[in-house]
Amino acid sequence: MYAFTYERPASVADAARLAGSGAKMLAGGQTLLASMKLRLANPPSLADLGGIADLAGIRREGDALVIGAMARHAAVALHADVLSAIPALADLAAHIGDKQVRAMGTLGGSVANNDPAACYPSAVLALGATVITSQRKIAADDFFTGMFATALNENEVITAVSFPIPTHAAYMKFKQPASRFAMVGVFVAKSASGVRVAVTGAANGVFRHAGLEAALNKSFTPEAAAAVKIDATDLNSDIHASAAYRANLVSVQTQRAVAKALG
Ligand SMILES: Cc1cc2nc3c(=O)[nH]c(=O)nc-3n(C[C@H](O)[C@H](O)[C@H](O)COP(=O)(O)OP(=O)(O)OC[C@H]3O[C@@H](n4cnc5c(N)ncnc54)[C@H](O)[C@@H]3O)c2cc1C
């Protein structure tokens, strides 16, 4: 690693101040520390968010579940409020990486990083969640702006994500077997305001699928999803799968997610 200084702010205000002077936020370190070890990242200083107790909370607030940015994947997977309000989210968290990754990785780190194959961004987008930061509240539809890119400013710290509680939801991941990231993952959520379908792993960033949403708004059934033709034009091809294969997976995983959401 290149040399860096290490800070452990005691409040979000201190963390935001450090971010404003060039520090990188350190959450679970599962991506950031690996990038630094490979010398792909060279931050002058790290601000470890692990000392800010408020950031790890998980609570139900009316019709929403508010999960702190520093909530570890393992904590989300096992939390009673998550299991009862949005079991699909607990299920998603329970299948991220391996035990070590789940013990360290955080919701805020995953969302800020916006890896195009990460699981959480699809839940944030499909559930129409709100990303709460040290400066403002950002709707999911405005948050993810491209591959590893978000609407966050340099000096902005995610403090929590507020997830509206849906009537039905499920996440189906077809995993890349080595990393367990999504080759294709589909999160489907149905609420009073309609159906939202978010796809991860298939392209250069998480995206909603308008055709699947239209079909599932008419009929929330696996058959309705199966009737939608998935265009492979903008999907990724790599050593793991062709664009056509990923397009088929988008269809199949959506059908499976709807069946699972219906229980
Ligand atoms: C082997 C392996 C397998 C994995 N498998 C999966 C998988 O199956 N599915 C999946 O979704 N993910 C997977 N991951 C990713 C992992 O779960 C983490 O979500 C991810 O590494 C980022 O979270 P972190 O808490 O470690 O963040 P860090 O690595 O600490 O930070 C990542 C980035 O986010 C920024 N950041 C962190 N917190 C905040 C904040 N509160 N506000 C603003 N910026 C912030 C940091 O500055 C940094 O730029 C895997 C990782 C590994 C190493």
Note the pLDDT of residue 178: 87
Q: Probe ligand 1: pick from 96, 161, 184, max atoms within 8 Å of CB?
A: 96
Cβ–ligand 1 contact at 180 (below 6 Å): yes
Which residue's CA lies nearest to atom 43 of ligand 1? 157
Q: How far apart are CA 85 and CA 77, in angstroms?
A: 12
Note the pLDDT of residue 168: 98
Bridge partners of residue 46, in order along the sequence: 6, 24
Query: Angle at Cα 57 formed by Cα 53 and Cα 62, nearest 5°?
Result: 145
Q: How far apart are CA 33 and CA 26, in angstroms?
A: 8
- Ligand 1 centroid from CA 214, angstroms: 32
pLDDT tens per residue, range 178-198: 889 999 999 999 999 999 999
- Ligand 1 centroid from CA 78, angstroms: 19
**Strands of the sheet with 5-7, listed across from one edge:** 5-7, 45-48, 24-26
Cβ–ligand 1 contact at 127 (below 6 Å): no
Cβ–ligand 1 contact at 108 (below 6 Å): yes
Ranges of beta strands (E only) in 158-214 are 158-164, 168-175, 182-191, 194-200, 207-208
List, as own/partner pairs, every contact residues 215-221 make where C-beta atoms lie below 8 angstroms and the sequence separation is at least 24, other chains included.
216/188, 216/190, 216/258, 220/168, 220/190, 220/195, 220/258, 220/261, 220/262, 221/258, 221/262
The pTM score is 0.97
- Residue 151's contacts (CB-CB under 8 Å, 6 or more residues apart) are 138, 142, 143, 144, 145
- Residue 165's contacts (CB-CB under 8 Å, 6 or more residues apart) are 63, 64, 65, 85, 86, 191
pLDDT (tens, 9 = 90+) of the chain, 263 residues, equals 999 999 999 999 999 999 999 999 999 999 999 999 999 999 999 999 999 988 999 999 999 999 999 999 999 999 999 999 999 999 999 999 999 999 999 999 999 999 999 999 999 999 999 999 999 999 999 999 999 999 999 999 999 999 999 999 999 999 998 889 999 999 999 999 999 999 999 999 999 999 999 999 999 999 999 999 999 999 999 999 999 999 999 999 999 999 999 99
Tokens of 61: 């607030």
Note the pLDDT of residue 179: 86
The DSSP annotation for 122-168 comes to: HHHHHTT-EEEESS-EEEHHHHEEETTEES--TT--EEEEEEEPPSE
